[in-house]
Structure 1
C-alpha cells in the first residue's frame, strides 16, 4: 500500500489523538499489509513521546523547524493566556483571562502549531460550531471565536472546573439514587444536543465533568464535541470534512456497534444512547460491559467483534462475579452494604441498562429523554418501559419483601379493588338509569346508595388501617397496598373526578399516617386540583385539602407555603359558618405549631389555648382530638421554656389517654417520651427515669425489638443511668440496643450511638479492653460500609493510637480518609500514624493529596494541621510553596489563638524545610517555654536542627538535650499503653527529635 504525504500526515495526527493504548489498534487497521509504514509510524510516535518538554506541540512532518506557538503570558485576541490546562492530539486548551467587556476566567482552545491540516481545522471548526449551536446548563458554552495572527483558529468557552462523572460520584460515595439523578441531567443535555441536530459520538466519563454549585448540588457538564456529527440537514463547517471509510471513530469502550462497524457510516442519535448505557453501567457497578483490559490488549478486529457480537452481562450479574474486594469497593463507593448492591440493581436497572446496550439500535430507547424518563420512573417506583409490563412484573413491583400480615392485608386489598369496581360499575349504571324512563329512577337511587356505601367502606378501611400500622408495625405491605389503590383509581376513575378526589383525600391521609410525606402530598395536590377545577371550587373539601397541604408544607419546613395554605383554608372555613368550625379549629392548631417553630412563642401559646378552649366546649371530655390538643399545647409550652406548664399539660393528656384507652395502649408513648424530656429539662432525674422505664416496658410488650421507637427509648434510659454513674444498669440497655439495631438500616444509627456511648462509659472507667471489644463487635464489614460507622471507627483509631498499636490504627484512619476525603481531621490522624508505623512510602504518597485538598483553606487551625502533617518528614512534598503559605496563614490568622505555640512551630518547621534556618531558629525560640509540652518539644527539635545547619553545634546539642528531657519527663510514655493528651503531636514531637538526633549526633533514630 502506497501512502501519499497528506495521508501520512493525516494518519500521524489520528494516532496522536488517541491514547497510547488505542494507537496500536489504529495502526493495525491503517497499516495492514505495510510493515514498513507501520515501523515508520511507530518511530515517529516514539520520537514525539520522548521529546518531553523540548517539543510542546506535535512534530510537523512538513516543516523542519518548530513554529512558535502561543503560551502562558501571551495574548490571543482580547484574552490573556494564564496556563495550559489540557492537550489533545491537535489542540491545546489554556486557562485564559478575559478583561473586556466582563472580567472572567475562560477556557481557550486553539489548534496546535504544525497541526493545521485541512482535516484538523475542519474538525476543530466543526466542534466550535456544534458548541455554538447549543445553550443548555449541562453543556459547556462557547463565548467567542476567532483566529490567531498565524491564522490558526481558536474558540473561547466556559471554564469547567470539575471531575470525571465517575470519579465525582466515587469520591463522594454517592448512592445509587443520587447517581441516577445526576445521570438524568446528563441525558437531558444529550437530548438538547440531539434536538439541535448534533450527535456527540464520544460520550464517556472524561467528557462529562461534574462540579459542585454554591448550594452544594452537583452540576454536570458535557464537553468535547470534537468528533460530533450533524444529522441530516445540518452543516457544522464550510470546510470539507468526512470520516474516512473503515476508520474507527470514538473510544472503543463506549462505542456503539454501528460505530464499530467500519463499513456502516449511517450513525444516528441512538449511538449516543448506547454510550449513555455504558456510562450508566459504570455508574451503577464500577465496571464496564466489556473488560477494559481486554479491549486494550486486543487488536482492532477483536475489539470490533466484541462490540458487534458479544452480549454484555447484566449489571447485577457482573457485580456477583466480582471478587469480594471488588464488590466491597463498589458497594462502599455507593454507600450500601455489599450483599445489597446486586439486589438493588437487579430488575429495573438491569433492564434499563440492557435496553440501551441493544445491538439492534431500533430496540434501544429512541431518545435520551425516553431513557431519562424510564430512570425517573424507577426512582418513583413506577413500572419502567424497558421490560414488558407482564402481570407478574407489575405484582412484583407491589409485593413487599416482608410478608408480615400479608394474609389480612390481601383481604383488604381484595376489598379495595372490589370497592373500586363497585364504584365504577354503580356510576355507569347510574348514568344509564338517568337515560331510561321515569320508572327506572328508583333503581338509580338504589345504585347511588350502593356507590355511596362502597365509598364509605373504602374510606373506613383506609382510615382504620393506616393508624394501626403507624403504631410501629411494618408498613411496607400497607404502602404497597396504597400504591396499588392509587393505580386502580387512575385506571378506573378517570371520568369520575368527584369520586377520585374524595378517594385521593383518603389516600393522602393514609400515606401521611405511615410517614410517606411525598405520596401524601401528591394525593392531596391532585384532590385539590380536581376540587378547584370543578364548578363549585369553594367547598369544605377544598378547605380541608388546603389545610392538610399546609401541614405537609410545615412538616417539610416550607413555612411560607404553609402559611399561604393556612390563610386560604381559614378564609374558606369562615365562609361556611358552623359547618366549617371544626376545620377552622384544626387550621388554627396547625398555625400555632408553625408559630412555635418560628419562635413566636406568645402568639403560638395564645392560638393553642384558643384551640383547646374551642375543643373543650365542642368535644366530649375524653375525645381523642381534645387529648391531642393537650399534647400539642404541651409541645408549644415546652418550646417556650415553660416546662412546669408543659409538664402539667402532658400529664393531663396522659391521664385522659389512660381512661379512654387503658394504661397499656401504645398511643400514649409519644406523650410519655415528652414527659421524660420536660422533667429532664427541670432536673427531675428520677421522674425522667420513671417515664422512660414505663415507655421501655410498654415498647417491649407491644413492639418488635428492632422498632426505632423502642430502640430510641431504651437508649435514652441507658443514657440516664450512665449520667447517674450507674454503668451496671446502663450497660445491658446499651447492649440491647446494639444487638437489636445493628441488622436494620433505619435502626443502625441508633445502634451506633449506643455503641459509642457504651465505649465512652467504659473508657471513663478505664476499661479499655472492654471498650475495644465493643468497637470490634460493632464494626462489622457490613456496618463499615455505612456512614453511621464513622464515630465508632474514629474512636477505635484513637484508642489504638493511644495504645501505640500504630499499624492497626493506620487501617482505621485510612478507612476514615476514604469515607470522608474532604475532612482535614482524617488526614491529621493518618499522616502521624503512617510516620509512627514506619510506612514512609505511604506517608509521602499522602502528603501531595493533602496539599491538593487543603492548600486553599482560609482556616488557621486547618492550615496549621495540614501544613505540619506534610512537614513531619523531609522531602514529603516536592513543591513546598503551598505548604509554606498554609503555615503563613496559620501564624497570621492565629495570633490570638490559645494554640499559637503550635502555629509558631508549624511556621518554623516550614522555614527549616525551605532552608530559611535563621528564621526557623528565631520563631522556634518564641514557642519555648509553652504550656503545651508537645509544642515545646517540637520547637526545641526544630530549633536544634536549624542551629546545626547554621554551624552552631553546641547550641544545637543544648536544645536537643532540653527537648529530649522534656519529652521523657513531661509527656506520656508509650510503655504505659495509654498516651494522654494530644497523641498526634506526641508522634510528631518524637519524629522531629529523632531527626534532630540523627542530624546532630550522627546516630540512628530510635
Structure 2
C-alpha cells in the first residue's frame, strides 16, 4: 500500500505537539500525552513515532564523543576524501567558512549518477533531544522544494559526531558577481532579485527563516536562474535561545555574516521573518549601488555592529556618488543610475532597512510586490500616497494607451464636427457637439485617481464607461450614437471586451444600413469585426453569414482587394479548420494567402496570418513538410515587415519544432525569442506567457525537469496575474500534465478539476481544452489504480473529441492510448491489444517522421503483443522498438532509467497482468 506523505500543515502541528510534550516536566509528560491523544487522535501516532525517535537518540548518545570538523586546508581535510555519507561519496573540498567545509560529492550507490554539495558542519556537543530536533528539522527542510532554492537532500551524523547536510549542487556564480560580469542594468537586477524574494517568501510560508542571506549564498546559473543556498542551516545550528548571536560584537559566529545582520541579531533579540527582510534590503542595496548601507565598515566587527544598531543607512544615491565605479559594471552613467534609483527604489530599500522590525515590510512578498509595482510604473506602498504621485505613475504606465485613446477621441470629435456641417441648423450642430464632448469629458475624468478610487485605471474600463455614457447621453439621437459606436466598438474589441464591442458594433452596423452606407469601407470594417467576434464566442453560423455578406459586398463594389475582404477569406478558412473540415480549410487559406500577396503584398500582416493559419491546417492534416514550407514563407515575408510580425512568425516556427518533437531545437529558438517578446509585448503579455510555457514543455521532454519547473513557474505566476481569458487555465493544464508525469496526482488533480469546470462553462471554443483536462483526470485515476473510473472518463472524452474533430485528430491518440492502458489494467493485455493497435495507428498516421512519440507508441503496441503471446517474433519486435526508442532518448539526462523500464517490459510473460505504473512511466518520456 502506498504511504502518502503528511501535508505541510500536519508536520507543523506534529512538531508543535512535540515541543509541547518536550517542554512539560518529566512528571507531567504522561498526562500531557493523554490530553494530546484526546485532542488530536489523528496526529497522535505520528507524535509517538517522533517521541520514540527522540528517546532512541538519547539512548544512543551519538554525540558523546563529538569531534571537530577539520580545518579548510587540503592537508587537514584529505582524510575525508572518499568518505561515504549514506549514498554520497566525498570527492574534493570546494569551500569553507565559519560553519565548516563544503565538499563536492557524487552518488555512490549505483542507482543513478549525480552530484551534490555536502556541508560538513563543525560539531558541537548536543544532547539527545537536540539530536532528534536536528534530524526532525532536516526532514522538514528537505520538503522545501522550490525552483529558486537549492534543495536539502539529506542530513545526518558521521561516526565521529560531525553533522552534515547534503544539498543540491548548483553550478553558478554569486549574484553580485554574475550581475557585474554581464553589466546588468537596474531593471534586470531587480528581476533577478525578485526570484530570490520568491524563494524566501516560499520558505517563510513553511515557517523557516534563513538568517544568513548574503550574495555568497545566492548563486545564479548560466541560464539566469537564482538559487538560494543554505536555507535553514542557521535554524538547524542555533539553539532555542540564540544565545550565540550576542557574540557578534566580538567575532562573527558560525551561520552569521556581520555585514548582513539585522539590528535584532546584533542585540540578541528574537529572530523573525523581518530579519530576512532586512538582509534582503542589504543585498538589494549592494546589487543597485555596488556598496553597503554603512560607509565606515573597515573599523572592525564591533564598529560595524554599532553602525547597524545606531546609525542611519546611506541612501542609494549617496552610495552611488561615493562609489563612482559602480556605473561601469551597470552599463550606465552615474547620472542615469542615480536617476533610476531616486524615488521609489530608495524608499523601498530604506523601508527594508528600518531598525525596528515592525517598521519594515511585514513580509518578503510585500517587498517583492513593491518592486513589481515599481517596474510596472504603479504606486509603491512604501511611498506617501498623494494625488500628484499617483497621477504621475498613471501617466508613466499608460503612455501608449492614453495617447491612443486621446487620438481616437480627438478624431471622433473632429469626425462628428465634420458630419455636423451637413446639418442646416447651427443650434442642432452645437447641441450634437456638446453631447459628444460631454461623453469624452466623463471618460477623461475617470483617468483621475481621485475619481476612479485607484491609481491604475485600465483603458478597457475607460472604454466601457465611455460606451455606457454614450448610450445614455445620445439616446435621443440614434444617428449620433451610431457614429460614436463604431470607434468605441473597435477599441473595445481590441481591448478584449467582446460583449460591449458586439453591442456597439451591432448598433454601428444598423446605423450604417439605415443611412445607406453599406458600400463604404466603414461598413466592411464593422462587418469583419462582428464576424471575427461571433466566431470567437462560438456563434459560428452567424459569423459565416456575416463573412459571406462581406465578401459579396466587396465583390459588388470592387473592394475585393481590401484588407477586410482578404481577412474575411482567412476567417472562413479558420472556421472550416475548427469544424474539422481540414481539406476545405487548407484550400480556402491557400486562396486567401494568394489574394493577400497579390493585393496587399507579401509583407502585409494579412498575408503572414494566412500562411500561419495554412500551416496549422496542413499540420493537422499530417502534411508536415508543406506546413514547414508555409511557415518558412511566412518568416521570409516578414523580412521587410514590422518587427512584431517577424517575432510572431518566429514564435510559430518554434511551436512547429515543438510539435515535431524537436525539443532541443525548439528550446534553442525560444530562449532568445522570449527576451524579445518581453521587450516588445511586455512581461505579462499572452505571447510572453505562452512562450515560457512552451519553453517548459521543451525542457521537460528533453529530460531537463529542473529547467522546466523554473520556466513553468515563471509562466504560471504571470498567467495568474493576466487579465486575458483562459490563459491561467491553459498554463495550469501544462503544469498539471507535468505533475502527472512526475506521478504527483496530489498537485495535478485540483488544477485539472478547476480547469475542467472553467472550460465547461465556456463557449464552443473551450471544448477542446475541457476534453484535454478530462483526459488528464483519467490519467490521474489510472495512476491511483482506479482503472474503471479512468475508463469511464476516457469514454466521455473520446465521445466529445469525435464530436469536435471527427475521426482523425492529434488529440485522439493519447486518449486512445490511455484507454488501452485502462482496459489492460482491468482485463489484461490480450483484450487490450486491439486498443493499443488503434492508438498506435492513429499516432503513426498523424505524427511526423522523426517524432519521438512515434517510437513510444510502437513500444506500447509491441509490449501488449508480447504480453498477449510471448513468441520469439513478438519479443524481437519489442526488443527492436525498445532499442529504437532508447536511441531517441539517448541525449536526455535521465535516459539511464529507461533501461530499467525496458527490462521490466521484456520480462513480462504471456499471461502477466501488468500494473499501469510502468506503462504510465513510459508516457512520461
Is this a same-fold pair by TM over 0.5?
A: no
TM range (shorter): 0.3 to 0.5
What TM-score results when the alignment is normalised by the length of structure 1?
0.38
State TM-score, norm by structure 2. Answer: 0.41
Structure of greater Rg? 1
